[in-house]
Amino acid sequence: SSDIIYVKDRASRMIYCNPEALKLIGMSEKELYGKNDVKFLGAGNGGEEILITDDRIMSSGKGETAEEWVTWHDGSRRLYMSKKEPHFQNGNVIGLIGISR
């Protein structure tokens, strides 16, 4: 898929993403996994707002569709429509699953 597909743990650290996300981020799985959006995007590039949205979704246990601006390492700035859902295990939120386009 040309969409960005990802799974994050309860602390919003990346634990899975598809090849399209890896290509855009410019990191290997080993480099990316375990980092949150601020860590891999850099401060002030949209990661802070993404973490706020992620926390709200995981705290409420309710999915959302959100517009998210991201500035990539090459300086390009893009607006993404992201659909994010909490990821449950045994009735507890353990992270989130998202698709951004």
Nearest of 51, 5, 11, 49 to residue 24 by alpha carbon: 5
Strand partners, 84: 64, 98
**What span, in angstroms and rounded, lies between the C-alpha atoms of 9 and 32?**
13
- Per DSSP, the residues of 47-83 read HHHHHHHHHHHHHHT--EEEEEEEE-TTS-EEEEEEE
pLDDT at 64: 98
The whole-angstrom separation of Cα 66 and Cα 82 is: 5
Reported as a single tens digit per residue, the pLDDT across 44-94 is: 999 999 999 999 999 999 999 999 999 998 889 999 999 999 999 999 999
Segment 11-20 shows an average pLDDT of 96
* Cβ(17)–Cβ(7) below 8 Å: yes
First to last CA, the chain: 10
